[in-house]
Structure 1
Amino acid sequence: LYTYPTRQQGMDMVRGVATIKILRDQYPPPTPITEDELLKEIADADAVVNVRSIPMNRKIIEAAKNLKIIARHGLGYETVDVEAASERNIVVTRATAQGPYPVAEFTIGLLLALAKKYIPAHVSIKSGKWESLKFKGSEARAKTLGIIGLGAIGSTVARMATLGLQMNVIAYDPYVSEEKAREVGAKLVELPNLLRESDYISVHAAVTKESKGLLGKKEFDLMKKGVFVINCARGEMLDEKAFCEALSSGKV
């Protein structure tokens, strides 16, 4: 059972061993996939390819009597009740084959856009103005980049920033060794130190019970005034109210 179609080549491979049913053949769909519809369609499914993060809660998982695997067409598990799936011995997988480079390159692009003020300058020019002095940017070189989460994406960002931009990279990740951090050009520090020292902060950690809301009011208060914050992880990593207050005050 596919919630939405994926690449034709991959679906053709599946068709060689199984019958495929697709709930919606385009995105965005003319009508959304409802829970009642999913409950009905999943009842006899042996496998689900969950595209576009359709919520797979306990009720839906328990309705799937033959289900053996939920394959997330994406990097995160947050839309799947992994605990409910594990109780039924249902395997939950995610797609990591595309590698860290697309997100890492996007992160560096955002960093440079912030440093050089590309976006407000573009908006100004589009409105017919020429305000070159107003949008004088800064160099990223020799600035401190703090990376929260030194997994595949965070490590790739660290390499790009140190080798390509000659930035000073520090990182916070309680699951990574100092040796691994050094290999990618980063120095491990505690989170409060990272927040105090960084000119740029880039978030690349997974959302867990421990990391949800990791950056709240206390953390924003520790940051430098005018710090740039890039979040290419999940929105839940930041306390939205505290983040908006930091933006409004000019702290971020």
Structure 2
Amino acid sequence: MGTLWIVSSGPGSLQQLTPAAIKAIATADVIIGNAFYLEMLEPLIRNKQVIRSSMGKEVDRAKEAARLAADHNVAMITGGDAGVYGMASIVLEVVEHEFPNTDVEVIPGVTAATAAASRLGSPLSGDYVTLSLSDLLTPWEMIEKRLNLAFQMGVPVALYNPKSRGRPLNLGKAINIAMQYRSPETPVGVVKNVFRDGEEAFCVTLASLGENDELVDMHSILIIGGEETRFWEDNGDVKGIITPRGYHRKYVY
């Protein structure tokens, strides 16, 4: 009997892989995953049996991985963190329903929100909310309800899957909801292709993003600041975004 590792590949750079993820990949007989994520791991998966899949084949991929784990060590590769919009839930559900004796281990990784935050400064810092604007698996009515509740909390909100060709208007709807609870001058960070080729980071205001969101695409992660979030400046130049954690309320510095 083999082991099925659900391996988080992080934001895309090999330097962001955890030692546990590297060990699982090295130990696995079979590597399976979306072709986009496997391409980033090419130096680590040479001379392995590699099964490449495409978007929309997540259930088939999960079943194949669980079936192979009966007599192979299998590494199911998923981007970011497996448990945050990744493959962990569907793999565990398939195992629970069809392959109950499978030995499964989830290997955590760096998720897009924290990866993007590191490129912006410290826009999250304390409490924050992550929401996906993809309505492929979640009805838009539910997403809209969650957006309203999240922005009422006054904490930063990280938006995954903000815009694609199939849903170009969802980001605008989300910004309109944010504007009901946030100042137009609220800092917003946009990071594209974080830790990958073509990486770009932008710091804009909520109002300016509402006027023009062309800089955002499916490879972007957005962080909309909370009530205390401010721009990080150096001699008048914006270097990034800071959300104070609250030390200023307890200490003098």
Q: Same fold (TM over 0.5)?
A: no
Computing the radius of gyration from Cα coordinates, the structure with the larger value is 1
Which structure's residues are more often strand, by fraction?
Answer: 2
Bigger relative CO (Cα 8 Å, ≥ 6 apart): 2
Give TM-score, length-normalised by structure 1.
0.29
